[in-house]
Amino acid sequence: MNTLVEIKNLSVSYFTYAGEVQSVRDISFSIEKGKTTALVGESGCGKSVTSKSLMGLIEKPGVIKEGSQIIYNGKNILDFNPKEWNAFRGKECSMIFQDALVSLNPTMMVGKQIMENLENHNEEGLSKGELRKKAKEMLDMVGIPDAESCLNKYPHELSGGMRQRVMIATALITHPTLLIADEPTTALDVTIQAQILELMKDLQKKLGMAIIMITHDLGVVADICDDIVVMYAGKIVEKGSNEDIFYHPRHPYTWALMNSVPRLDLDSKEELVTIEGTIPDMIHPPKGCAFCSRCPYAMNICAEQTPEVLDLGNGHEVSCWLTDPRADVSGVPFQTGGVDHE
Amino acid sequence: MENNLVLNEKSFQRMEKKQKDLGVVYHRSIWKDVKKEIKSNPMAVFACIFLAVIIIACLLAPLSPYDPNKLDIANKFLAPSLQHPFGTDEYGRDYFTRALYGGRVSLLVGFSAMFVTICIGTTIGIFSGYIGGKLDMLLMRFTDIFLALPSMLLMVVLNSFLKPGMTTLILVLSLFSWASVARITRAETMSLKERDYVIASKNLGASSVLIAVKHILPNILGPVIVAASLGVASAILTESSLSFLGLGISIPHASWGSMLQGAQSYILDKPMMAVYPGLLILLTVLSFNILGDVLRSALEPKIVK
Amino acid sequence: MLKYCLKKAGQVAIVMLLISFFSFAIIDLAPGDISSMYITEDMTEEEKAIVIEKLGLDKSMPEQYLAWLGEALKGNFGVSLSYKTPVMPMLTKRLPSTILLMGTSLAVSLALSIPLGLIAGYKKNTWIDNAISGFAYFGMSIPSFYFGMLMIILFTATLHLLPSSGMHSVGVNTPIDTLMHMIMPVMTMALSSMASKVRYVRANTIGQLSEEYVLAAKAKGTSPVKILFKHVLKNTLLPIITIVGMNMASLVCGSFIIESVFGWPGIGSFAMEAIGKRDYTIIMAYIMLSGFILVMGNFVADILYSFADPRIKRGIDVANGK
């Protein structure tokens, strides 16, 4: 397989007023070259923290725990020194943030902000003019009309969709091999969302980078992602291909998540599922399965012991007691047991 | 399942009852926050201790064996000694006793001016913010003008033409400092009056006065306390400047500022006479400023720390 | 843009009018008869009446004010009661030394407070931040006249390094001599206006550093130093323009006190003297002059700010700010 990044046993904690918040608890997954992987889950489940770890952007009071590894092209990037990080960030791996308005410096012209990324990794020694030309090309590529004049505009003079395009242009101008998109469409309205997603798919084809898409919007996931990682309370509960997760969910949380949004391909009479309750307190994470308190099929053991990860083949992995042959599976609406879709 | 947990038949039965996840309740009250904030900051601990000592010492000033105003020319300019910790001044008066009496005046002026300032400012602020509309606009214009006035200049003019004295001083100080308090309380009131609980009690027929006093006032207490602490500091500072210029408390009655005015004439020969009262002003104002900042970070959590 | 300038200019005029009216009213309502300073026992009733008429004291307060205002608008602030000469030339003669003192102090305080605030904010909660913040606390808690006195005690009484008062030594008129005389007043004045600026720059730097765009810049591989100087600096310093404008008040009032402490021959110490003599024409002229400096400072700062911040510059007539 063509693995680009392998995250191994990543744990991140934030030390706050109230205590240690265990945002990410021992997660492992990998990202394939040129593919799109989605990180899905509710707010606060640790998706953003995971992506920030990849970029080395965890800041105090956040700490990446001992024993965590992120292997990129054979190197553990968590061992990088600040200089190596700066060479990595922006060049190898770029990031698009959720809200372009606050992620762009309000008092710096757009062109300068795009060029900054290239300037930081200017090994070829390009001149200012060449940098500018590249920035303009990139703006053309992301579909901004009249790119030349856009270079001299300030962020507040652009519309929301245009700003997000500028962010994408900034991230991709260095042709990174990995692009992290942290909820890139959440702040936009629906029609613009579709345009931006289309643009990202298009650019991925042209430039061939891998994308990590962080989102809680399953529509986005279904549309463009190859692999899906479902996170809950700092842990991965299930991961697999788009097909696996959407059509053969094996974890009650995944199942509920998939059935909580209206879908055109499902029977319209089917009721949408709601997930009762709220995510657990991450300062005192539960002993057993974190989803236990909200799971309608929870068993006694769920509160006692964390279920092991079960590999169902083809990269489909799940962590749930319902896969155990001894489990009480009465009334469970999705497939259980240890074998993938029979 | 290598854990030493014993799996039994029950393990795989459905859970009987969902354990209610109540979340964690952090017991945070205003005073606990303040205490914690002060304890975590050595500067704040120092400020509190210093203020306590200075206030108690000034209150106990009459216990001093010396009369602060009795002249004793034979003993003028004595060096500091056990009998006279700060020495004596140009008229042979015990300087330490005078400093304590001066502190009473300075602190009294500081606290009273703060009190009047807070009363005026909060009343206008709540009134303006709660009633809103044209009245609010008018009052805020008025407040803005007060904020734009060169207050120190006008204070100097006022004090030089009014009969000098403590009451005058307190009123003049408050006259020029209520405006910023009014601004803060107005802004807070504006946001509070849109809260559901205020609207609810309004719908239940509570009178405006009742709402203002029972619901709004307690909730703007935080910023007001902060403003009060910083207000004492600035009042003492301004008082000392005015007294130093001879426009505040006049000699022979002393505040720390007027003691400095007196000391100025001897500054080249007897520098310590200027050092003591000034140091007291500095430390007192410093303590109130630190306290104000600590209170701010305890009571206004939005502040970036 | 023009509309904005005009609106601001209108505000300046209103504040100036208010200041003048307010001060005039105070002086007029103050106990003690101004004419008593000019009337002696041996004057006849007729002579007394002439003096009162000359002073304009026979008219009502609003009439007096309007008369004064009419003349003031023409630049005529009347004749000093104690010196018996026109006020304006006396003030303008002393103005340059005050401007010199204020300007230098402003420059010094800016030159020191911006880097200090930036360092403190960047290195927040380290020993260097604690030292700088402690210094700022000190600056804002010490009465400026007292700091001046301490400087005199140290540099004049103890070390005999610097002259304690005036602008020139007797018979000497060299720039070095003036500079020596300036050091202490400038330091004193700069200290008090530095404190607020340091605290402001620090808080602002911390605020800006926690903004999302800083994270985004970091994600581009921008080094911390570049982030500080290319991104944060400008956004931190923009509001400083406004702060400087607001600080004009402390400069003007500071000059008033500090000139008295150091015997600096500017308009502040002159006005102080006039207050002692109850020379109300000088006092009024001084208030108007320093009030004008102050209000103009605010005005210029507002205009400059709107030019410097692209968000305001291009959207001034739209709703302001966020």
* B285: closest CA of chain C, how far (Å): 5
Q: Are C167 and C100 in contact, with CB atoms under 8 Å apart?
A: no
Asked whether A306 and A233 are in contact (CB, 8 A), the reply is: no
Cβ atoms of residues C156 and B268 within 8 Å:
yes
Give the DSSP H or E segment for C133.
Answer: helix C127-141
- Of C39, C73, C107, the position where a domain reaches its end is C73
Q: Tens digits of per-residue pLDDT, A222-232?
A: 888 999 999 99
Whether B42 and chain A come into contact, CB under 8 Å, resolves to no
> How close does chain C come to B272, measured CA to CA in Å?
9
The pLDDT of residue C313 is 59
Per residue, the 3-state secondary structure of B210-271, as one string, reads: HHHHHHHHHHCHHHHHHHHHHHHHHHHHHHHHHHHCCCCCCCCCCCHHHHHHHHHCCCCCCH
One domain, residues C14 and C154: no
d(CA A298, CA A329): 10
Give the Cα separation of C201 and A222 in Å (integer).
Answer: 47
Average pLDDT over residues B262-268: 81
> Residue B261 has what pLDDT?
85
Encode B86-127 in three state secondary structure.
CCECCCCCEHHHHHHHHHHHHHHHHHHHHHHHHHHHHHHHHH
Q: B265: distance to nearest CA of chain C, Å?
A: 11
| pLDDT tens readout for residues A268-317 | 666 777 777 777 778 888 888 888 888 888 888 888 888 888 888 888 99
The predicted pLDDT at position C318 comes to: 43
CB contact under 8 Å between A297 and B21, yes or no, is no
Query: What confidence score (pLDDT) does residue A325 get?
Result: 83
Q: What is the DSSP secondary structure assignment for residue B18, as one 8-state letter?
A: P
Question: Is B75:B111 a contact under the CB 8 Å cutoff?
Answer: no
Report the interhelical angle of B178-192 vs B133-148 (nearest 10°): 150
Q: Verify that C35 and C137 share a domain, yes or no.
A: no
What is the distance between the alpha carbons of residues A155 and A152, in angstroms, rounded to a whole number? 10
CB-based contact, C229 to chain A, within 8 Å: no
For the segment C243-262, the average pLDDT, to the nearest whole number, is 82
pLDDT at position C73 over 50:
yes
Q: How far is CA B98 from CA B233, B236, B239, B246, C136, in A?
A: 21, 17, 17, 17, 30
- Between B118 and B263, where is the model more confident? B118
Domains in chain A: boundaries:
1-33+40-85+216-342
% chain B with pLDDT above 90: 21
Q: What are phi and psi of C321, to 5 degrees?
A: 70, -160
Indicate if C48 and C100 belong to the same structural domain. Answer: no
C109 lies in the same domain as C224: yes
Mean pLDDT of chain A: 87
* SS3 category, A231: strand
- Mutate which of C19, C135, C141 to disrupt the B interface (most B C-beta within 10 Å)? C141
- Give the pLDDT confidence score for residue B72 in this predicted structure: 72
SS3 label, residue C308:
helix
Interface test with A, best of C125, C206, C213 (most A CBs within 10 A): C213
Domain presence at residue C80: no
Q: What is the token pair recorded at A32?
A: 């394939």
pLDDT class of C127 with cuts at 50, 70, 90 = very high
Q: What is the structure's pLDDT at C321?
A: 36
Domains and CATH numbers, chain B: 31-65+94-299 (1.10.3720.10)
Range in B181-185, C13-17, C99-103 the model is least confident about: C13-17
Q: C319 falls in which pLDDT band (50, 70, 90)?
A: very low
Window from A131-135, A298-302, B47-51, B119-123 with minimum mean pLDDT: A298-302
**Does residue C82 form part of some domain?**
no
Closest CB to C238: pick one of A103, A107, A170: A107
Note the pLDDT tens digit of each residue in C153-182: 889 888 888 887 888 777 777 888 888 899
Asked if pLDDT for residue A42 goes beyond 70, the answer is: yes
Mean of pLDDT values over C107-116: 92
Both C162 and C214 in a single domain? yes
Choice among C83-87, C184-188, C311-315 with the minimum mean pLDDT: C311-315
C284 and C236: one domain? yes
Instruction: Identify the CATH number of the domain in which residue C250 sits.
Output: 1.10.3720.10
Question: Subunits with at least 3 CB pairs below 8 A relative to chain A?
Answer: B, C
- Please tell me whether residues C135 and C281 are part of one structural domain: yes
pLDDT band at C11 (very low <50, low <70, confident <90, very high): confident
Per-residue pLDDT, C30: 65
Domain membership of residue C18 as a residue range = 2-73
Work out the pLDDT band at C120, boundaries 50, 70, 90: very high
Q: Tell whether the model's pLDDT for residue C34 goes beyond 50.
A: yes
C-alpha to C-alpha distance for A21 and A19, rounded to whole angstroms: 6
Q: Residue C27: its chain B contacts at CB < 8 A?
A: 157, 161
Cβ contact, residue pair C235, A105, below 8 Å:
yes
Same domain, C170 and C219: yes
CB B170 within 8 A of CB B112: yes
Say which residue, B282 or A259, is predicted with more confidence. B282
What was the pLDDT predicted at A227?
92
Tell me the range of B96-100, B253-257, C39-43 where mean pLDDT is highest: B96-100
More confident residue, A202 or C15: A202
Specify the range with the lowest mean pLDDT, choosing from A41-45, A53-57, C148-152.
A41-45
Instruction: Kindly state whether residue C79 falls inside one of the protein's structural domains.
Output: no
Alpha-carbon C161 to chain mean position: 28
User: What is the rounded distance in angstroms from the CA atom of residue C22 to the CA atom of residue B158?
Assistant: 10
Distance of CA C29 to the CA centre of its chain: 27
Whether residue B6 lies within 8 A of chain A, CB to CB, comes out as no
- Which neighbouring-strand residues pair with A178? A93, A210
Mean pLDDT of A140-162: 89
Query: 């003049």: which residue's tokens?
Result: B172
Which of C49, C73, C97 is at the close of a domain? C73
Mean pLDDT (whole number) for B248-261: 79
Query: Pick the residue with more confidence: C28 or C202?
Result: C202
- Three-class SS of residue A286? coil
Q: What is the mean pLDDT of chain B?
A: 81
Query: Any idea which residue has 């079960």 for tokens?
Result: A310
Q: Which of A51-60, A99-108, C162-171 has the lowest mean pLDDT?
A: C162-171
pLDDT of amino acid C128: 94
Q: Are C19 and B150 inside 8 Å of each other by CB?
A: yes
Q: Please report, as a single letter, which amino acid is at residue B138.
A: L
Q: Which pLDDT score, from 0 to 100, does residue C320 have?
A: 38
The average pLDDT across C190-216 equals: 90
Give the mean pLDDT of B126-149. Answer: 83
Taking only Cα atoms into account, the Rg of chain C, rounded to an integer number of angstroms, comes to 24
Q: b/e for A46-83, b at 16 or more Cβ within 10 A?
A: bbbbbbbbbbbbbeeebebeeebebbbeeeebbebeee
DSSP summary character for residue B162: S
Contacts of A117 in chain C (CB under 8 A): 220-221
Instruction: Select the residue from B18, B33, B37 to test the A interface by mutation, using most A Cβ atoms within 10 A.
Output: B18
Taking a contact as any Cβ pair under 8 Å apart, which residues of chain C between 173 and 232 contact chain B? 203, 206-207, 210
Q: Which one of B5, B14, B19 has the shortest CB-CB distance to A293?
A: B19
Average pLDDT over residues A96-125: 89
Q: Cβ C311–A89 below 8 Å, yes or no? A: no
Count of C-beta atoms within a 10 Å radius of residue B9: 8
Q: Tell me the residue type at C155.
A: F
**Of A238, A233, A225, whose CA–CA distance to A32 is shortest?**
A225
Q: What is the pLDDT of residue C252?
A: 80
What digits encode the pLDDT tens for the residues B205-222?
888 888 888 888 888 888
Residue C78 lies in a domain: no
Tell whether the model's pLDDT for residue B111 goes beyond 90. Answer: yes
Q: Does C209 touch chain A (CB under 8 A)?
A: no
Same domain, C189 and C275: yes
B268 inside 8 A of chain C by CB: yes
C286 versus C38: the higher-pLDDT residue is C286
Does the ipTM exceed 0.90? Answer: no
Q: Taking a C-beta distance cutoff of 8 angstroms, is the pair A241, A316 a contact?
A: yes
What is the structure's pLDDT at A266? 62
Please tell me whether residues C63 and C96 are part of one structural domain: no
pLDDT at A85 over 80: yes
Mean pLDDT on C171-196: 88
Beta carbons of B24 and A283 less than 8 Å apart: yes
Same domain, C304 and C201: yes
The pLDDT, as a whole number, for residue A262 is 74
- Is the pLDDT reported for residue A339 higher than 70? no
Higher pLDDT, B240 or A332: B240
Work out the average pLDDT over C223-242.
86
- Are C14 and C119 in the same domain? no
Number of domains in chain C: 2
Question: In angstroms, how far apart are the furthest CA atoms of chain A?
Answer: 69
Distance from CA of A110 to the nearest CA of C (A): 12
- What is the pLDDT, as a whole number, of residue A322? 87
The structural architecture, per CATH, of the domain A1-33+40-85+216-342 is: 3-Layer(aba) Sandwich (3.40)
**Where does the pLDDT of residue C317 fall: very low under 50, low under 70, confident under 90, or very high at 90 and above?**
very low
